[in-house]
A and B are shown apart, each in its own frame.
Chain A
Amino acid sequence: MLEVRDLSVSYGAIRAVRGISFSLGKGELVSLLGANGAGKSSTIKCIAGALKASGGTITLEGKDITTSSPEQVVRTGLATVPETRDVFPDLTVAENLMLGAYLHRRDVAGNRDNLERMHALFPRLSERSNQAAGTLSGGEQQMLVIARALMSRPSVLLLDEPSLGLAPAIVERIFEMIETLKKSGLTILLVEQNVNQALAVADRAYVMRLGSIVASGTADEIRSTSDLSAHYLGS
Chain B
Amino acid sequence: MAFTIQFIIDVLSLGGAYALMALGLVIIYGILRLVNFAYGELIMVAGYTMYLSSGSGLPWIVMAALAVAMAVVFGIFTDYAAFRPVRAKSVTAVLITSFAFSNLLQNAALLFISPRPRNVPLPPIFSQTVEIAGAITPVRNLITIAASIVLLAAVAYLMRKTTLGIAMRAAATNFTMARMLGVPANLIISSAFALSGFLAGVVGILWIGRIGTVVPGVGLEPLLVAFIATVIGGMRSLPGAVVGGFLLALIDTTLNYTLPQDLLKFRDAFTFTLVILILLWRPAGLIKGPASGQRT
Contacts and interface: CB of A to CB of B under 8 A. Distances in A.
A74 B185 contact: no
Interface residues of B, number: 20
Q: Classify the interface of chain B: helix, strand, loop or mixed.
A: helix
Interface string A85-119: 01011110001101110110100000000000000
Contact of A88 (B174, B179, B182): B174
B180 A75 contact: no
Contacts of A86: 174, 176-177
Contact of A99 (B178, B290, B292): B178
A89 B163 contact: no
B160 to A, nearest CB: 9
A102 B177 contact: no
Contacts, number: 73
A27 interface: no
Of the listed residues A74, A88, A105, A148, the one surrounded by the most CB atoms of chain B closer than 10 A to its CB is A88
A42 interface: no
Interface string A147-165: 0110010000000000000
Nearest to A51: B176
B178 to A, nearest CB: 7
A71 B179 contact: yes
A139 interface: no
Contacts of A149: 181
B182 to A, nearest CB: 4
Contacts of A95: 166, 170
Interface residues of A, number: 29
Contact of A152 (B167, B178, B182): B182
Contacts of A50: 176, 179-180
Contacts of B169: 88, 90-91
Nearest to B169: A91
B180 A98 contact: no
Interface of A: 48-50, 69-71, 73-75, 79-80, 82, 86, 88-91, 95-96, 98-100, 102-103, 105, 134, 148-149, 152
Given A50-B179, A69-B185, 18 more contacts: A48-B180, A70-B176, A70-B179, A71-B180, A71-B184, A75-B182, A82-B180, A88-B170, A89-B173, A89-B290, A90-B169, A90-B173, A90-B290, A98-B163, A99-B163, A102-B183, A103-B181, A134-B291
